[in-house]
A = this chain, B = another copy of it.
Amino acid sequence: MGARAIGIYSIFVISDNGVVLVLQRATHHTLRALGAALAGLELTAAEINALANLADGRVRSVSRLSAETGTRATTLTGVLDRLERRGYLTRRLDSADRRSFLLTLTEEGRLAAARVRAAVTDLERAALAGLSADQIAGYHAVVAALQEVC
């Protein structure tokens, strides 16, 4: 946020660095940090993202996970293939809608997901330590607003 003098005019700009550009940058950095923190698990960014969302233990369809992660279903197919091959999750037909698969973490998958979750919350705790609840609420409001117009 800021006002900048240009000649005799003063124009108001949304942000000196835009909310979108810093979003991309922060995403790149956090993905790399999480990958490093979880180096022992040999997970890619998309796998970490999927596991972090699955970590709550709730059973979901692929399309649901797709919406939560922001990853396309075509991409998720490959990600889920790898997680399934690794024994981290199972796909079983949803008897209520037999076009759909229900994703369930295995015991081993729950352990891995818990470690992912821990790494994520560690990072969040460290980052947000000095910030106020209002600032964090503002963050969520902006991100939600970006989501809505996309």
Binding site for B on A (CB under 8 A): 1, 14-15, 18-34, 49, 52-53, 68-71, 120-121, 123-128, 130-150
Given contacts A127-B145, A127-B148, contact A18 B137 (CB under 8 A): no
| Residue in A34, A53, A127 whose Cβ sees the most chain B Cβ within 10 Å | A127
Cβ-defined partner of A30 (8 Å) among B34, B132, B150 = B150
Q: Please, which residues of chain B bring their CB within 8 A of the CB of A52? A: 18, 20-21
Copies per complex of this chain: 2
Closest-by-CB residue of B relative to A132 is B138
Taken together as a complex, chains A and B put the C-alpha atoms of A70 and B18 apart, in Å, by 15
Q: Are B139 and A26 in contact (CB under 8 A)?
A: no
Q: Are B142 and A70 in contact (CB under 8 A)?
A: no
Q: Are A142 and B150 in contact (CB under 8 A)?
A: no
Closest-by-CB residue of B relative to A16 is B140
Minimum-distance CB pairs A-B, first 8 = A138-B138, A28-B70, A135-B138, A139-B142, A25-B70, A29-B150, A33-B150, A27-B27
Given contacts A134-B138, A135-B137, A142-B131, contact A124 B27 (CB under 8 A): no
Q: Are A30 and B26 in contact (CB under 8 A)?
A: no
